[in-house]
Structure 1
């Protein structure tokens, strides 16, 4: 599990593409301090496994499905990516729950200044947009952000000066493709509401979760 707080910008050293997917070698410093083989690392928000490391770099693998569903296919040697180690059990929960399982990609359709901030409008499919709510959380290229507003085709997020300084989003351009992961809690709530009364996947017991109950406790 991750929290959407980027630890550093890693640089792409090399990408090897094949029919089996891709191997991506990344130069880094901070996250190498306690890295071990098999560790899970979020790369632009994608949970990937460390398969090799050494010489100030580490290598992760991505299967064809990951390449199709994310913006990894756009990477080139020399590009920078957001990286974050999996959250430690005693770590501070500064962002929101991020699984590293990307729902799809969006495209930056507009960028405008607003005071000290930079507002990005990101267009995406309805399958993603259905889980996006104003003041809710969304993960954009591995960065935990708060949703400013939602329309029928897009949503807005504000990039504050600190985030601009420590992530690639400060240099984002109109047309850029970004990875999106919706808040997992929204999916669980939807799933519970879709289950017919008196049934469960196992048929073992009746669910007591109703829309009235969720509204009563502020979840809907």
Structure 2
């Protein structure tokens, strides 16, 4: 599990591509590698990946075909930076909200509004996922726990503070690029449960 508080942005130094599998080599600073072992879970742009090898300052991750298809890791290139968070440990402070590292979908950057006063991203997403995204609710975006701004039928807005821009890669995306989205699991359970209960009541009353 993860908190959605990005610990660092790390450079992709190599990508080994095979049929249905990419192996990422990511440069980790010493403090981020401390205590890291093979088999550990690390969020890369919000995607939970398993450490397969550690060599000097590099950490290796395998990304399978389904993950490539579902996430923006398929679009990575050498030299890009990705958001990194080590898995949550017992006793850690939870400053964001609980994330699983399982990406539900991708959102496309529709608009960027950047002034001296603000940095806003407008994201477009498949309408079916908007059932789980609410104004002032939480959503995981490239592994960042963020508060939702204005919402529409097909998307939502994010108001990013300078600290978020400094610690993450969200200001390195352009209009048309895609971001990984993990919806809040508690919200999903509540919405789906309410819909099932209402559907049963409606079907029962219609008989």
Which residue pairs with 1:54 in the alignment? 55
Report the Cα offset of residue 116 of structure 1. Answer: 3.0
1:165 alignment partner, SS class? helix
CA contact (8 A) 2:131 2:191 kept: no
* CA spacing shift, 1:195–1:151, aligned 2, 3 Å: closer
Q: Does 1:179 pair with 2:180?
A: yes
Q: Which runs of 4+ in 1 moved over 6 A?
A: none
Matches within 5 A, 1:104-115: 104-113=105-114
1:15 alignment partner, SS class? strand
CA contact (8 A) 2:15 2:24 kept: yes
Which residue pairs with 1:12 in the alignment? 12
2:139 alignment partner, SS class? strand
CA contact (8 A) 1:163 1:170 kept: no
1:53 alignment partner, SS class? strand
CA RMSD of aligned residues (A): 1.8
Name the one with the larger helix percent. Answer: 2
Structure 2 length as normaliser, TM-score? 0.91
Report the Cα offset of residue 134 of structure 1. Answer: 0.1
2:128 alignment partner, SS class? helix
1:125-146 CA distance string (max 9 Å, x none): 0122221000000111111110
Structure 1 length as normaliser, TM-score? 0.86
Provide the aligned length of Structure 1 versus Structure 2. 199
1:108-132 CA distance string (max 9 Å, x none): 1101136632010000101222210
In 2, the alpha carbon distance for the partners of 1:183 and 1:114 equals 29
Report the Cα offset of residue 194 of structure 1. Answer: 4.3
Which residue pairs with 2:165 in the alignment? 164
